[in-house]
Homo-oligomer: A and B are copies of this chain.
Amino acid sequence: MEGGGQTRRQETRGPDLAGPDLAANVVPVVMAGGFGTRLWPLSTPDRPKQFLTEFQGRSLFQQATERALRLAPAERVLVMTSASLASQARAQAPDVPAENLIPEPLRRDTGPAVILAALVAAGRWPGAVMAVFPSDHFIGSEEAFVETVAAAVARAVEGGLGTIGIPPTSPATGFGYLELGADAEPLATQPVAAFVEKPDRARAEAYLAGGRHLWNSGIFVWRPEVLLEAARRHLPDTVAALEGVANHVGRDTFAAEARAAFERIAADSVDYGIMEKAEDVWCVPAAFEWDDVGGWEAAARLLPADDAGNRAYGNVVLEGTDGCIVLGEEDRPVAVAGMADCIIIQGPAGTLVCPRAEADRIKPLVQRILDGRQA
A residues whose Cβ falls under 8 Å from a Cβ of B = 40-41, 315, 317, 319-320, 328-329, 332-339, 342, 344, 346, 348-355, 357-358, 361-362, 364-366, 368-369, 372
Contacts and interface: CB of A to CB of B under 8 A. Distances in A.
Contact of A351 (B40, B346, B357): B346
B320 A334 contact: no
A337 B352 CA distance: 8
A350 B366 contact: no
B337 A358 contact: yes
> Interface centre among A320, A333, A338, A351, by most B CB within 10 Å?
A351
5 contacts: A317-B372, A319-B365, A328-B350, A344-B353, A346-B351
A40 to B, nearest CB: 8
A333 B350 contact: yes
Chain A interface secondary structure, helix, strand, loop or mixed?
mixed
Given A328-B350, A344-B351, A346-B346, A362 B337 contact: yes
Contacts of A355: 338-339
A350 B362 contact: no
Contacts of A357: 338
Nearest to A362: B337
Given A337-B362, A338-B358, A350 B319 contact: no
B41 A350 contact: no
B369 A350 contact: no
Contacts of A362: 335, 337
Given A337-B362, A338-B361, A328 B354 contact: no
Contacts of A366: 335
Contact of A353 (B41, B335, B368, B369): B335
Identical copies of this chain, number: 2
A319 to B, nearest CB: 5
- Which 5 pairs show the lowest CB-CB distances between chains A and B? A338-B358, A337-B361, A332-B350, A333-B350, A337-B354
A349 B336 contact: no
Contact of A336 (B332, B337, B354): B354
A358 B321 CA distance: 12
A303 B352 CA distance: 21
> Interface centre among A328, A342, A361, A362, by most B CB within 10 Å?
A361
A94 to B, nearest CB: 31
A361 to B, nearest CB: 4
Contacts of A372: 317
Nearest to A336: B353
A353 B342 contact: yes
B365 A350 contact: no
Contacts of A332: 41, 348-351
Contacts of A40: 335
A346 B338 CA distance: 17
A364 B339 CA distance: 16
A319 B353 CA distance: 10
Given A335-B369, A339-B355, 9 more contacts: A328-B350, A333-B369, A335-B353, A335-B354, A336-B353, A337-B362, A338-B354, A338-B357, A351-B351
B317 A369 contact: yes
A339 B354 contact: yes
Contacts of A369: 317, 333, 335
Contacts of A335: 40-41, 350-354, 362, 365-366, 369
A339 B329 CA distance: 23
A368 B41 CA distance: 25
